């Protein structure tokens, strides 16, 4: 594998599809163990909801990371997605209402149900899982790629560098204030910042501020950008003047679990 870098996002509990994609790419063997040699594999968030086994996805990521580390070859890393924030909020706050002036009550439980939350994932969530999730970054630089879960510039609310943003989000997630945690969920659900006439400018500004030459994101299913149904997708979509690569194939909507090798960007 050499120093190749792969990314996958928005598995949403579809652990079988993930395992198949990893085997096809040669990153795991037939037994599901790490076989990626010196390759780097990034998961860009959204392990939970809309599929049968979010805990199974989390356990897969953690197991592969441990195996690569133990072998001293390759790296497996992960970002926090908005559905992880939702799962954590559901676990901590449940039916507690978020302070709000609107007509409908806002609770993590209501959003969790509306977004395809699974009881089994909440029941299987251990303190060890929670500690691991709370330690994940929301942004990363991998070579000249700026990795993020959501196609949004809301990250800049938390700081002016990747490290500053990651530290701020982790500190806020540890808060006992439901309004603070809800605001992270709200900001991380926004999308489409890089689409349309303004999109390339937003992408350039974000790259100038945070580093990198190309943004790679999940979160928003890319079938509409490609002009096809999710099931017809065969690869990621490069857009916004070539500054942004979308990789969410919409596996929960009969699309593929896209495992994408990142080409060098100069």
CB 7 within 8 A of CB 149: no
What is the C-alpha to C-alpha distance for residues 225 and 221, in angstroms, rounded to an integer? Answer: 8
Tell me 34's DSSP state.
Answer: B
- Token pair 């679990």 is found at 257
Mean predicted confidence (pLDDT) in 199-216: 98
What is the C-alpha to C-alpha distance for residues 183 and 172, in angstroms, rounded to an integer? Answer: 9
3-state secondary structure of 96: coil
Query: In this structure, is residue 266 part of a structural domain?
Result: no
Strands, E, within 123-255: which ranges?
A: 139-142, 145-148, 214-217, 237-239, 244-246
The full DSSP string for 199-234 is: HHHHHHHHHHHH--SEEEE-SS-THHHHTS-GGG--
pLDDT score recorded for residue 42: 98
Residue-wise pLDDT for 46-68, tens only, equals: 999 999 999 999 999 999 999 99
Query: In this structure, is residue 108 part of a structural domain?
Result: yes
**How would you classify the pairing of strands 75-78 and 145-148?**
unpaired
Query: In this structure, is residue 255 part of a structural domain?
Result: yes
pLDDT band at 226 (very low <50, low <70, confident <90, very high): confident
Task: Flag whether pLDDT at 224 surpasses 90.
Answer: no
CATH number of the domain that residue 20 is part of:
3.60.21.10
Task: Flag whether pLDDT at 2 surpasses 60.
Answer: no
Query: In this structure, is residue 40 part of a structural domain?
Result: yes
Mean predicted confidence (pLDDT) in 79-103: 94
- CA 75, chain centre distance (Å): 17
State what percent of residues in the chain have pLDDT above 90. 94
Query: In this structure, is residue 59 part of a structural domain?
Result: yes
Query: In this structure, is residue 9 part of a structural domain?
Result: yes
The predicted model scores a pTM of 0.97
Structural domain for 209, as ranges: 5-261
- Total domains present in the chain: 1
pLDDT score recorded for residue 197: 97
pLDDT score recorded for residue 100: 82
pLDDT, mean over the chain: 96
């Amino acid at each position: 594998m050499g120093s190749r870098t792969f990314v996958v996002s928005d598995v949403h509990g579809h652990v079988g599809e993930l395992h198949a994609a990893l085997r096809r790419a040669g990153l795991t063997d037939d037994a599901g163990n790490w076989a990626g040699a010196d390759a780097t594999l990034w998961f860009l968030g959204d392990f939970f909801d809309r599929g049968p086994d979010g805990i199974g996805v989390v356990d897969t990521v953690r197991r592969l990371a441990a195996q690569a580390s133990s072998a001293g070859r390759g790296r497996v890393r992960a970002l926090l997605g908005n559905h992880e924030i939702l799962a954590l909020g559901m676990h901590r706050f449940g039916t507690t209402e978020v302070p709000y002036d609107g007509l409908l009550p806002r609770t993590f439980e209501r959003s969790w149900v509306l977004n395809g939350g699974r009881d089994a994932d909440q029941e299987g969530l251990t303190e060890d899982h929670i500690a691991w999730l709370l330690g994940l970054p929301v942004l990363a630089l991998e070579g000249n790629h700026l990795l993020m879960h959501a196609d949004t510039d809301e990250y800049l609310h938390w700081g002016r560098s990747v490290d500053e943003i990651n530290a701020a989000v982790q500190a806020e997630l540890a808060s006992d204030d439901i309004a603070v945690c809800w605001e992270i969920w709200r900001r991380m659900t926004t999308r489409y910042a890089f689409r349309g006439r303004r999109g390339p400018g937003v992408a350039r500004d974000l790259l100038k501020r945070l580093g990198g030459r190309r943004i790679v994101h999940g979160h928003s299913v890319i079938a509409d950008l490609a002009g096809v149904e999710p099931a017809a997708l065969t690869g990621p979509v490069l857009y916004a003047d070539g500054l942004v690569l979308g990789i969410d194939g919409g596996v929960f909507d009969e699309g593929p679990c896209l495992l994408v090798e990142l080409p060098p960007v100069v």
